[in-house]
Amino acid sequence: MKGIIFIYAAALCMAAFTATAAAQEQTLELPSLSSEYVKDKESFRLAANDTGIQKGNPQAAPTAPQTEFESPLFTGSKMHQYLGIATVAAAAGTFLTHFHPCEGPNCGAQPPRKTSGLHANMGRATAILAVATVASGLISHWDDFHAEDGYTDPDNMHVILGVTGAALMAYAINKSARSSVPTSHAAVAELGALTMVTAIKLTW
């Protein structure tokens, strides 16, 4: 149980880290018609920007010695990546801790239903991690989604499949948690996990 609490705490901390890292990196820019216009204008300027090299430009940037670059350990993008991997690992753990000694009509009386066992808690941890992953992805990769690129764009597919996978896993867990008797929820949860793995693979 302590391990599960640790996972909950870690997921919350990582989600908080993501938001902090993203806030440090950029301000959240929601698209609007006017901002799209400005972006197009800037793209044209960018193209013009490359046609020649300015010489002796009084607006030239001040010179500062370039220090050796070290990639930061914690960025919004990296947090999203860590959370995604943690979600898949937790889903695999949930899958492996599902144990029924006997299933079917000839098994006699079933053992009482556990709602706080390892499997149940791992499932809840998976759902929390999945939600944290989706939230961190929306925060740190907001500008990678462009509807005009169509659903075959890897990032667009990633977000569609990632959100669907998280929703399916959350639905399966919710279905089981609300039932007073053992209920079949494995297929939906496994489908959700596989959908999420596919989403990760597309942008891995």
Residues of this chain that bind another protein (CB under 8 A):
24-26, 39, 42-43, 45-47, 49-50, 53-54, 57, 59-64, 66-67, 69, 71-72, 75, 77-78, 92, 95-96, 98-100, 103, 143, 146, 149-150, 152-155, 201-204
Q: b vs e for 98-122, b when ≥16 Cβ sit within 10 Å of the residue's Cβ?
A: beeeeeeeeeeeeeeeeeeebbbbb
93 token code pair: 């753990």
Q: How far is the CB of 201 from another protein (least distance, A)?
A: 7
Looking from the CA of 142 toward its CB, the CA atoms found within 13 Å total 16
Please state the closest distance from residue 197 (CB atom) to another protein, in A. 10
Choose between 13 and 42: whose C-beta lies nearer to another protein.
42
Distances (CA, A) of 83 to 26, 46, 48, 86, 130: 20, 35, 40, 5, 8
In three-state secondary structure terms, 104 is: coil
- Least distance from C-beta 19 to another protein, angstroms? 15
The smaller minimum CB distance to another protein, of residues 88 and 163, is found at 88
Our CB check for another protein shows the closer of 87 and 131 to be: 87
**Closer CB to another protein, 66 or 180, in the complex:** 66
3-state secondary structure 110-160: CCCCCCCCHHHHHHHHHHHHHHHHHHHHHHHCHHHCCHHHCCCCHHHHHHH
Q: Nearest approach, Cβ of 71 to another protein (angstroms)?
A: 5
Q: How far is the CB of 161 from another protein (least distance, A)?
A: 14
